[in-house]
Structure 1
Amino acid sequence: MSLPRCPHCRTRHIIKYGFTERNLVFKEIGKTNVNVQRYICKRCDKTFQTDLTNLVDKNSNFTNELKSEYEYLISDYLESFKNVCKSFKKFFGITVSHQTIENWLFVN
């Protein structure tokens, strides 16, 4: 992992500033509490946290890997949203509402 930079002024003059706890849902291990490192910039005094956009979308707790599974289930089995929810519960032990899956479909 590279040294973090301030996303506002792009400097490396930052210090650690605690953690933010997030509840993320992974395909393999299910729901997990994750501590995300927060930083404060010494130059512009703005706070930010470790970038997780390659792992999860903004304002989402479901990982991108988990979200890719619904596309597979819908395209290969032509299942309804409720059947996809049951498949998530059966294969991964994760409860996902049919509305969440429908939202994923419309975003993509």
Structure 2
Amino acid sequence: MKKSCPRCSSLNIKKKGFTKSCSKTKRGFTERKLQRYLCKYCNKSFTLEVRNKRKRHSREFIEAAIKRYMEDNTTIRSVSNSLGISHQRLLNWVMQYGENAKSPLEVALEIRPKYSGLLGVDGKELKINGRDFTLLVAQDILTFDTVFFSLVEGENMEESRRFFLIIRDILKYPVKGIVSDLGRGRVFIPL
């Protein structure tokens, strides 16, 4: 097959030196020379060999990598090594996925499951960076769906009130009763 100019398709071309192409591999950088040509008709120089382009991964590959990391409960490095990609690339994909994901509040407003109206609320004491926090979790008693959770500074009336107002007013949970052990033992409060 005769070489031709990609611009004017002329066969009247001559060699005009080399250009260097550098590509990154697992063993470092490799450099290769690419032949340059000059078209005698349109006076343009060009390279016929295609340079290495950045490898782009398909959406299916990216989603499978993120799913594997999330569901297999393994480290980023083990998943990235098994897939042959860098751990930073996988971490960037996971971070982008997290930024685009819906919050638990948006999911709860969108799903609107058939709640029973009986809410079980409990708190779990946590220590984060030496500070004490309480994770409040509200769960529907019959469907076992987590309705809402919030990390608060402590189990006090103000935080509990704000927590329940979000459940009732923002999430529109049909509260018929609350079972809780917040502070004073198990209580059943009809609303």
After TM superposition, the score normalised by the length of structure 2 is 0.33
Alignment of structure 1 residues 1-108 onto 2, 5 Å: 2-26=1-25, 31-52=29-50, 56=53, 62=54, 64=55, 67-68=56-57, 72=61, 74-78=62-66, 79=69, 83=76, 87=80, 98=89
Q: Which runs of 5+ in 1 are unaligned?
A: 57-61
**Which structure shows the bigger proportion of residues in strand conformation?**
2
**Which structure is higher in RCO with an 8 Å CA cutoff and minimum separation 6?**
1
* Residue correspondences, number: 84
User: CA contact under 8 A between 2:8 and 2:42: conserved in structure 1?
Assistant: yes
Bigger radius of gyration among the two: 2
Work out the CA distance in 2 between the residues paired with 1:23 and 1:31: 7
Work out the CA distance in 2 between the residues paired with 1:97 and 1:4: 42
Q: Which runs of 5+ in 2 are unaligned?
A: 71-75, 97-191
Measured on the aligned residues, the alpha-carbon RMSD in Å equals: 3.9
The residue identity in structure 1 corresponding to 2:57 is S
Work out the CA distance in 1 between the residues paired with 2:17 and 2:29: 22
- Give the fraction of aligned pairs with identical amino acids, expressed as a percent: 26
1:59 matched residue in structure 2 = none
What is the CA distance between 1:43 and its match in structure 2? 1.3
After TM superposition, the score normalised by the length of structure 1 is 0.52
Q: Do the aligned partners of residues 76 and 96 (structure 1) sit closer, same or farther apart at CA in structure 2, a change above 3 Å counting? A: closer
Structure 1 stretches of at least 4 aligned residues deviating more than 6 Å after TM superposition: none
